[in-house]
Amino acid sequence: MDEVSIRRQVIFNEGQLKGYIDYGNFDVVKPSEKDAKNAIFVMATQVNGQQKTPLAYILTNGIDSDLMSSIVKESLKKMFQANAHVLSTTFDGLRANLSAIEKLGGNICLDDPQYRPYINHPSDPNLKVYITPDACHMVKLIRNCLEYYETFLDPDGNVSTVTHCYTYMAL
């Protein structure tokens, strides 16, 4: 799942105004007449092949954890109905995504004794769907933090700088 920015535009097409927020069949929030500025894309990717299938797109004006948890649940249910076995779900580090995972029963905080890197499938609680943060996006978040803060402490209390990171990357 990923949220991307889209061009804000409302047009009259086939007797209807198009371009407003549209949650499709997700029963989270009431309809809105605000312009959509983002689209959330849900895609299924084959594990042992190269097949990719778009499942849904949702036009939003931002996302919250209620909407994201509903999208995850409904997507998993639809995949289950199609006899597709979902092993994991991947998303970026947006706070709404992390909160949605917590609402669904997962916990990806490694320091937490309640660490649970999966959620139970909404159609079959015996199935686990593992949570996989998008590694490329996480690296970008870490890079941005390093550039912004410039110094940080490692778990042993030692001070490191961005320069140390660049030195390690050059090795």
Q: What is the pLDDT of residues 4-24, one digit of tens each?
A: 676 666 666 677 656 555 555
Q: Is residue 65's pLDDT more than 80? A: yes
**φ/ψ of residue 70, rounded to 5:** -65, -40
Domain ranges of the chain: 2-133, 136-171
pLDDT score of 141: 82
pLDDT at 82: 92
Q: Look at residue 118 in the predicted model and tell me its pLDDT.
A: 95
Ramachandran angles phi, psi of 109, nearest 5°: -80, 110
pTM for this predicted structure:
0.73
Query: How much of the chain exceeds pLDDT 90, in percent?
Result: 25
Q: What is the mean pLDDT of the chain?
A: 81
